[in-house]
Amino acid sequence: MPTGRKLKKKVLTALADSNWEERVRELMEIHTMQSLVAPLFSSLCDKSEEVRWHGISSFGMIVGRMADEDMARARVVMRRITWMLNEESGGCGWGVPEAMGEICACHEGLAAEYGRFVLSYIHEEEDKPENYLEFTMLLRGAIWGVCRLAQSRPDIAAPALKDLIAALGSPDPTTVGIACWGLGALGNKKAVEHLEKLKDRNEEVVIYRDRTFENCTVGQLAGEALGRISGV
């Protein structure tokens, strides 16, 4: 078995490969899921945006498999993630809310237990305990995590409707575009009037979904969401 440093290099090399999903699955066949988790956390800080996002997707694959094999070990990973998003941890949490959303999107059991945490990071309620992430980039990542959950498990993500509608007012166009995606996934008609106002927004954004990068405008994403809600 390779040392931790060698395995980390193998994982990061796999995530940078054009056939990264196949490479990661190969690693999953020859290494324990537990041994692959630490390199994935390292990938979230990689200088390459592709490596970071492929790492996020791989969290769903690897921790999902881990949960099937040993739910207790998977819960340890989820607790580590929630700790990293806690102010007391002293960490920055880059990519962590996205990874949590991806894991819950990929595994029903973990979604049932931790889905509410995914939603809590974008919910702000005055005078009550909260996990709301105020920093713009972390909040954008948390919104992505909620939208990824909505894509696979709209029933669990449904309570985030008002928070995603509120995100449409963000000064960050990428956050607005991501929220449009999530509202389309939820399919709730209460979002229609808010999305209608965005159809002519022409800011260009890049979002990561379905394991690929997409170049689009806020208006296009709003229109797509309206189409999904109306069933067109």
Provide block-wise average pLDDT over 10 residues at a time, the chain (232 residues). 84 98 98 97 96 98 98 97 76 86 98 97 80 91 98 98 98 97 98 98 97 98 97 74
How many alpha carbons fall within 13 Å on the CB side of residue 103?
Answer: 35
* CA dihedral over 59, 39, 215, 100, signed as positive or negative: positive
* pLDDT of amino acid 126: 73
Rounded Cα distance between 106 and 62, Å, is 10
> Rounded to two decimals, what is the model's pTM?
0.95
Q: What is the pLDDT of residue 86?
A: 81
User: 52 with 20: CB under 8 angstroms?
Assistant: no
Domains in the chain (CATH in brackets) are: 4-230 (1.25.10.10)
Report the candidate in 46, 6, 48 with the shortest Cα–Cα distance to residue 27.
6
Pairing relationship of beta strands 204-209 and 212-217 according to DSSP bridges: antiparallel
